[in-house]
Chains A and B, each alone.
Chain A
Amino acid sequence: MQLNIKYFGMLAEVTAITEEYIQTEVCSVSELVEKLKNQYPKLGDKDFKVAINHHLVDQNHIINTEVEVALLPPFAGG
């Protein structure tokens, strides 16, 4: 299946892209994050949360359908 991955703030800076589409099998959020960290080693030491279709999810969440996955660094609004 295809996932749309979006990167924001400092994460877009270290990956040098704001979004991409990747092919993957059914996986957990933590497995996906590991895969992305392998691809972009500089993500490794960054603090971020993961949102799926605009909702925050935890590391155990299973991704089993085509969704939008956003990697969100610490918020700084206001």
Chain B
Amino acid sequence: MEKKKPKSVFIQGAISSEFIGTSIAKHQTKTSIGAHNIFLGQVRADEIEGKTVTAIDYSAYEEMANQKFYEIREATFEKFDLTCMHIYHSLGTVKAGEICLFVFVSSPRRKIVFEALEYIVEAIKADVPVFGKEIFEDQTHQWKQNSI
């Protein structure tokens, strides 16, 4: 028998533009919202010592990461008057040019969503145990590290 799982932030592979579009459309019934703000993290084809990144393979300490996402969510709602927020992060392989992070916040008014979105994205980068293996075209790799 299937048990209902707690909502996970993680999505296997890239986050499609269809998924993002559908997510926006779902908010049309929430008519107290006057402003949405969206952050999309995209895998960059960095050139490192003459080799180009073709994809990032994401992994995570999932139990701790989900706990951290929950804490970020609670802290954000505490701090900002948001109507709703959604966070999705990829696991597994995401090619250069594809989307690996989707953060979506909504509020009656615009100023709050600008501030809230930055707060959330910075907290994700600093606090959530997600690891990224940058794969080069020759299949060698190096481990990514977030800059401050």
Interface residues of B in 108-148 (CB under 8 A from A): 121, 124-133, 143-146
**Residue in A51, A75, A78 whose beta carbon sits within 8 Å of that of B101 in the complex:** A78
Say yes or no: A9 contacts B131, CB within 8 Å.
yes
**Of B14-22, B29-37, B45-53, B56-64, which binds chain A?**
B56-64
How many angstroms from the CA of A76 to the CA of B121 in the assembled complex?
Answer: 12
Give the A-B pair count, Cβ closer than 8 A: 69
**Nearest CB of chain A from residue B10's CB, rounded to whole Å:** 11
**Residue in A8, A54, A55, A74 whose beta carbon sits within 8 Å of that of B59 in the complex:** A8
Mark each residue of chain A from 61 to 78: 1 if its CB lies under 8 Å from any CB of chain B, else 0: 000000000101111111
Say yes or no: A77 contacts B61, CB within 8 Å.
no
| B67 at the A interface (CB under 8 A) | yes
| A10 at the B interface (CB under 8 A) | yes
Q: Smallest CB-CB separation from B63: which chain A residue?
A: A54
The winner among B60, B61, B129 for most chain A CB atoms within 10 A is B129
How many angstroms from the CA of A10 to the CA of B56 in the assembled complex?
Answer: 14
Say yes or no: A54 contacts B131, CB within 8 Å.
no
Say yes or no: B143 contacts A77, CB within 8 Å.
no
Say yes or no: B143 contacts A10, CB within 8 Å.
yes
Say yes or no: A74 contacts B133, CB within 8 Å.
no
Number of interface residues of B (CB under 8 A): 28
**Residue in A10, A73, A75 whose beta carbon sits within 8 Å of that of B126 in the complex:** A75
Say yes or no: B100 contacts A78, CB within 8 Å.
yes
| B41 at the A interface (CB under 8 A) | yes
**Nearest CB of chain A from residue B11's CB, rounded to whole Å:** 13
Q: Could you list which residues of chain B lie within 8 angstroms of chain A, going by C-beta atoms? A: 41, 56, 58-61, 63-65, 67, 89, 100-101, 121, 124-133, 143-146
30 A-B pairs in the complex with CB atoms less than 8 angstroms apart: A6-B61, A8-B59, A8-B131, A9-B131, A9-B133, A10-B131, A51-B129, A54-B61, A54-B63, A55-B64, A70-B64, A70-B129, A73-B131, A74-B143, A74-B145, A75-B127, A75-B129, A75-B146, A76-B58, A76-B131, A76-B132, A76-B144, A77-B60, A77-B65, A77-B125, A77-B128, A77-B132, A78-B100, A78-B121, A78-B125
